[in-house]
Amino acid sequence: MNGILPLWKEKGMTSHDCVFKLRKILGTKKVGHTGTLDPSVEGVLPICIGQATKVAEYITDSGKEYIAVVTIGTATETEDADGAVIASDLTLKHITRTEIETALAKLKGEIVQIPPMYSAVKVNGRKLYEYARKGIEVERPERTVLIHEIELLDPVQWYEGETISFRIRVACGKGTYIRTLAVQIGELLGYPAHMAALVRTSSGTYVQNDCRTLDEVRTLQDAGRITTLLRPLEDALTDFATVEVSEELLEKVVNGQVLPEHPLLESEEAIVFMNEGKAIAVYRKHPTKLGLMKPEKMFPLNR
């Protein structure tokens, strides 16, 4: 069994829980997810099976889209609704739509984030949440992330109250913490804030309508129709240029040989060699040998 299964992760489960359950449902151990979603978050989680596990990193690194609820007035230790409140400002607030949209505009493009303490980012070989659970505060490395789009969704012109909540849509690059983005929005508005809810609506080329829940996957498997849900691993390679391999090069590519650099690599990050509509290898510039290229991923010719 090879392919990508677009899963809708429901609330209450970790991404690893989904992988564990799918291994049992599908009867195969070669199953991997494409980016962690917290238990309280639901949404699109493409699952790679068999040979498709080789392309999981490409989906993980691809763009994502989210719908988030930002709450202004309280901040939490986890930056989401699951953590204890660590700061609050419950004064009566009057915030206009224009003020929120101005703040959002400042967060579009490349921005700097500091990962939350309750995250899986590693510092000195340990995950930040391991320090946080012991009450240890450590210096966290800054990271630059890319916000492609960010917009206010609610058709409201004026927000008023001790706490204020509103929905935003965010299209972003890899490594973005929406929790931290909510805090940054609050900082620009002058108040403590946290992310109250989050749904991932797309991951790479996959959207909500492509996905099935675990129960639906189980039903399809029991009916012998699971292959109708699986998508080809080539779906994960759409960001790269494709080249139909010539008969002359076929054996060399299949054997993973170092080859003269393809002209497309002057402008492309990587190229995918194809044979009869199927990917057989991903090649990049050789890291140390000028004018040559080497395989990054190899896929069986017959699968």
In sequence order, what are the residues at sequence separation of 6 or more whose Cβ sits closer than 8 angstroms to the Cβ of residue 65?
169, 170, 171, 172, 200, 201, 202
Rounded CA-CA distance 25/7 in Å is 13
Outline where DSSP puts E strands in the chain.
3-9, 31-33, 42-49, 64-72, 74-76, 85-88, 93-96, 109-113, 122-123, 126-127, 143-152, 158-161, 164-172, 193-203, 206-207, 241-244, 259-260, 271-275, 278-285, 292-298
Sign of CA dihedral 143, 148, 153, 159: positive
What are the tokens at 255? 């054997």
* 202, two tokens: 């797309």
Q: What are the Cα distances from residue 189, in Å, to 95, 96, 103, 166, 226?
A: 8, 10, 7, 13, 48
Kindly tell me the sign of the dihedral angle through the C-alpha atoms of 130, 136, 138, 143: positive
Answer yes or no: 222 catalytic: no
Backbone angles phi, psi at 73, to 5 degrees: 130, -30
Residue among 38, 80, 210, 235 flagged as catalytic = 38
Q: Which of 239, 203, 272, 301 is nearest to 4 (CA)?
A: 203
The catalytic residues are 38
